[in-house]
Amino acid sequence: DAKTTQPNSMESNEEEPVHLPCNHSTISGTDYIHWYRQLPSQGPEYVIHGLTSNVNNRMASLAIAEDRKSSTLILHRATLRDAAVYYCILIVDTGRRALTFGSGTRLQVQP
Amino acid sequence: GAGVSQSPSNKVTEKGKDVELRCDPISGHTALYWYRQSLGQGLEFLIYFQGNSAPDKSGLPSDRFSAERTGGSVSTLTIQRTQQEDSAVYLCASSPRGGAGHNEQFFGPGTRLTVL
Residue of A nearest to B5 (CA): A43
Which chain B residues have a beta carbon less than 8 Å from that of A103?
42
Q: Which of B45, B59, B91 sits opposite A43 (nearest CB)?
A: B91
- Summarised one tens digit per residue, pLDDT across range A78-88 is 999 999 999 99
Bridge partners for A63 per DSSP: A72
B92 C-beta neighbours (distance < 10 Å), count? 28
Q: How many CA atoms lie within 13 A of B22 on its CB side?
A: 8
- Summarised one tens digit per residue, pLDDT across range B8-63 is 999 999 999 999 999 999 998 888 999 999 887 788 899 999 888 889 999 999 99
